[in-house]
Amino acid sequence: MRAFALAAVLVSFAAVAACSKVQPRLIDPVRSRGELRVVTLNLPTCYYLGAQGTEGLEFDLASAFAAHEGVKLNMYPVANEGAMQAELAAGRADIAACSLTDNPDWHRAGDAAEPYSLIPQLVVYQRSGVRPRDTLQLESARLAVRAGSPQERILQRLKSTVAPGLQWEETAPSSADPVEDVDGGEAQYAITDAREYSFAHHLYPNVLVGFELPQRRPVQWIVRKGTPGLLASVNAFFHELAASGRLPQLVQESSGDTRRFEYEESREFQGHVGDRLPMYRSWFEQAALQTGIDWRLLAAIGYQESKWDPRAESEDGASGIMMLTSDTAQAMGIKNRNDAEQSIFAGARYLEQVREMIPDRIPEPDRTWLTIAAYNVGFGHLEDARIITQAQGKDPDSWTDVRVRLPLLAQQRWADRAKRGYARGWEPVQFVDRIQRFLTLLEWQPGEASAHAEPATAAPGANAAPAAAAPGAAPAPPPDEQAAKVAGTHPAPRP
């Protein structure tokens, strides 16, 4: 889905740009090397490696900008803001992009582009504590803020203007999350970006918003000095993207609130991340190396199936961390489904087998979500839903389209026409939704982004027009041929 969102950005941006009379272009050094170098930080608000590839608002914006300028994108993370400034000052990076706010420390390294967004600044508190409602209430409280952050500068201005008694505790190191301090009881309140909170409240569900500070924080890109053409191009890019209406939409789509917040579920999940996942993580990682499937995706499936409990059992006889049936366990060559190591490796191999049944012409992330749906309901039933999807004039290779048709398999008039008959088609939809939620929570874990840090590159125009099927791929075969791809007449066994 993120690929389609980025494609929409590029299409709408191109339409607006075509109407502009003057198009500033990149300076010669960038254009001559054919590469735009963007330095960033590994943060869920900006840039991180998800199970489906590189994600984050700044990555999406940088990809769109590079594609518009016709150059390759080389985006890479560094350790901290000081390292970003060093990259820019040395000329190794052309742009620094990470929800930045201009300040004197940046003046030595580059020139600030015009702000593209204003982020609300929130005062947060622990659910069991007293809710703060105004700035003066913070003067007598234990207040946490990230050292050297824009939020600390906002507090300094408030102290000098309306709240002279304001005091706060700096988190250390500078990458520490003050929201975590509130969750752990080390601070009563913390100041955080609304965008950061949209991710953090899934990880710390006991932390709530008290009120919004009166001053919002501007965010912008910093362009290396001596490149006025590049600065002009960046400003024009954001002006046109805002005029198209896609900029605020993209900001919202890339926030942590694109998935519904479930308080009890998130609280329980975070508890299990701390007390259960460490016992099994190395096996998930080893299984990932064997199958090429991201370990966090395997772990998300394991959590959905059993909450990482090797003794878990279902009413239909499945058991173990990956909830394998006796037939699947036998087919995977394991003897003890309640042995966590055996269950994880067998579940990963089974998922790999299911994935091989899904046409490889289907792009990501659709192929992964279709695979997981088939893992849950059986490949045959998924094929029936894809056939119905095609019959209704929609794309059988699109998870968005197929997920709408899967529940039809529970209706008699559709079940009678489906080769594999009735299925509880709403279950794989719910299964995939929950896997996506747990996967995202794993991707957002503190320190997880840096553990998977690596540069992201994109060829000119590579992100310009992702489609539901690979270019030149043949259309889905007619129903009889679709059905012929299924081995036997029964749905694949539930794992």
Catalytic machinery residues: 305
Taking the C-alpha atoms of residue 181 and residue 177, their distance in angstroms, rounded to an integer, is: 7
What is the arrangement of strands in the sheet containing 207-212, beginning at the earlier edge strand? Answer: 169-171, 143-146, 189-193, 121-126, 207-212
Q: Are 107 and 242 in contact (CB under 8 A)?
A: no
Which amino acid appears at position 154 of this protein? I
The 3-class secondary structure across 298-339, one letter per residue, is HHHHHHHHHCCCCCCECCCCCECCCCECHHHHHHCCCCCCCC
Percentages helix, strand, coil for the chain, rounded to the nearest 5?
A: 50, 15, 35
Q: 């000095």: which residue's tokens?
A: 225
Q: How many CA atoms lie within 13 A of 160 on its CB side?
A: 6
Alpha helices of 70-121 — where are they, by DSSP H? 81-89, 104-107
> What would the DSSP string read from start to end of 132-191?
P-SGGGGTTS-EEEETTSHHHHHHHHHHHHT-TT---EEESSTT--HHHHHHTTS-SEEE
The residues, ordered by sequence, that sit 6+ positions from 394 with a Cβ below 8 Å of its Cβ are: 401, 404, 405
Q: Residue 116: name the closest of 21, 196, 255, 217 by CA.
A: 217
- Residue among 187, 323, 227, 203 nearest 30 (CA): 227
CA end-to-end span of the chain: 26
